[in-house]
Amino acid sequence: MLVNLNDVLKKAQKEKYAVGLFNTTDTDMLQGVIEAAEELRSPVVLGTAEILLPYGELKLIAPSVIAAAKRAKVPVVVHYDHGLTFTRCMEALQLGFSSVMFDGSTKDYETNLAETREIVKIAHEFGASVEGEIGHVGNASTGDEDLRDMYTTPEEAKAYIEATGVDALAVAIGSAHGVYKKKPLLNIERLKEIRRAVDTPLVLHGGSGLSDDDFKTTVREGIAKVNIFTDLCLAGKRAMKEGEEQGLDYLEVRNLKVKYIKEAVMEKMKLFGSVGKA
Ligand SMILES: [Zn+2]
């Protein structure tokens, strides 16, 4: 069934597990994620992100993702990840996404606040939820020192939530997008401080490549949603390499991709503690 973030994250926060967001840019990924969620009876968040649209246009992807969510036996949120422009966020809502993230984290504080507030007002009219970001989750190719300046502070988080009315908040505590070059060091103390300061479900971006312990600790300390994309790409790539080596034809490689992606998703759901929570 198609639901929004509030329908799954409040329960997750209360029961101390996290729901995974898995971005799906094609139907191979979509099938892998849905099958994993149904088999493990786990709630799940599906979506795509604005920077991924060159690899799967929104109008093309949306109908299949939304139909899959509605048909699913478990709660599925269809989320527009890292919305960067007002136009694309509106398009996602009009196409039927049940949730959007507006990422104004690279803009100045006042602009981020004002634009997020506007999107929240409109999204709520659609019955959709909104995730915002304060502080800035950078890219893994940047050094740790550069990331540290962008960590979310508890004061900022509280003020931002009060001013915008977001339903979930992405926090910057040391994780980053993409493939990590060295082991990331998460600031768990900062996470605890933010958790104590606000009631809104918190989101960890840049989940691919974090250790099992990182997940267990962050979920225990209040993360209710974890974003994963890179790990699904790596699983798919492994299938393509093995398919080539084994001389499989295109359709067999396709099915191997679905299998490996599904396995990668199931592994994450077990770590996040969302198994059996649907
Ligand atoms: Zn992100």
Residues 6+ apart with CB under 8 A from 106: 136
**What's the pTM value of the predicted model, to 2 decimals?**
0.94
pLDDT tens digit at each of 278 positions of the chain: 999 999 999 999 999 999 999 999 999 999 999 999 999 999 999 999 999 999 999 999 999 999 999 999 999 999 999 999 999 999 999 999 999 999 988 888 889 999 999 999 999 999 999 999 988 887 876 655 555 668 899 999 999 999 999 999 999 998 888 888 878 889 999 999 999 999 999 999 988 888 999 999 999 999 999 999 999 999 999 999 999 999 999 999 999 999 999 999 999 999 999 999 99
Q: 217: which 2 tokens?
A: 């600790």
Q: What DSSP element (H or E) covers 27?
A: helix 27-40
In whole angstroms, how far apart are CA 192 and each of 32, 47, 181, 197? Answer: 33, 28, 26, 9
Domain segments of the chain as ranges = 2-272
Distance in Å, CA 168 to ligand 1 centroid: 13
Distance in Å, CA 170 to ligand 1 centroid: 8
CATH number of 2-272: 3.20.20.70
In whole angstroms, how far apart are CA 131 and each of 80, 104, 105, 169, 240? Answer: 9, 11, 12, 5, 34
Catalytic, 81? Answer: yes
Out of 7, 26, 81, 231, pick the active-site residue. Answer: 81
Distance in Å, CA 245 to ligand 1 centroid: 33
Q: What angle do CA 206, 211, 213 make, to 5 degrees?
A: 120
